[in-house]
Structure 1
């Protein structure tokens, strides 16, 4: 087994992660830390009139798998609501654990396939979705 499973696609996604930015309005925010790996994400979210994500900003301190997951979450989040985020987290978690054969409907998550056999990376991969869900639950 190689020392890491970072594919070119994972590294490219990790590098594509945007810098945190000011939002016009902050409706919800959360900061979560993965107890398994120490990754930290601080996320703020702005919602539309239907309580769906209009835009978000996140500061991510994570391995390349966590950064890639955060980039995929960010790329697919516009127009998503609480149920979408909860469904994505459940599907991704079940896929990583081997309980399902695909990562669900969130676009692009199958690129994280190399991490499925590395349970120590699962916390970092799930963290962006957990943080999104916490920020949506915090939304006023």
Structure 2
């Protein structure tokens, strides 16, 4: 894997995080932090009557990889159920750990392939998905 870790796609996503403001009164809010690099992502969610994410807000204080991951998560999370988000999170964790050959079934995740060999970067990539899955599950209670 000779591809650069920080490529144009990663940097573009990092600069274009959707839903980059917190929700005023979310149904659930979760903050996740990487002890390795200090990256931090807070995800707020509201859900509809069917338990699907209806609104999302984020505060992202992370490296470019963490920002890019938050961007991809935010771009495709509205309309998803807590279970769907949890599956994507679990697939991401397994892929980064080398327990799964294919990237998660979430649009755009293949851009993190160059990071597979950089274990110290994995926590930052997981943060947004971990926070979103936990927040969506918490909003249904």
TM-score, normalising length: structure 1 = 0.91
Give the number of aligned pairs: 138
Give 2:114's aligned residue.
Answer: 114
Q: How far apart are the structure 1 equivalents of 2:5 and 2:81? A: 32
Give 1:41's aligned residue.
Answer: 41
Q: Deviations over 1:16-38 (max 9, x none)?
A: 11331445x51111112112221
Give 2:27's aligned residue.
Answer: 27
Give 1:69's aligned residue.
Answer: 69
Could you tell me which runs of 5 or more consecutive residues in structure 2 were left unpaired when the two chains were aligned. Answer: none
Q: How far apart are the structure 2 equivalents of 1:32 and 1:91? A: 18
Report the secondary structure of 1:84's partner residue: helix
Q: How far apart are the structure 2 equivalents of 1:112 and 1:92? A: 10
Q: How far apart are the structure 2 equivalents of 1:27 and 1:46? A: 5
Give 1:50's aligned residue.
Answer: 50
Could you tell me which runs of 5 or more consecutive residues in structure 1 were left unpaired when the two chains were aligned. Answer: none
Post-superposition offset of 1:133: 1.5
RMSD: 1.8
Q: How far apart are the structure 2 equivalents of 1:47 and 1:137? A: 10
Post-superposition offset of 1:86: 1.0
Q: How far apart are the structure 2 equivalents of 1:28 and 1:44? A: 6
Moved over 6 A (4+): none
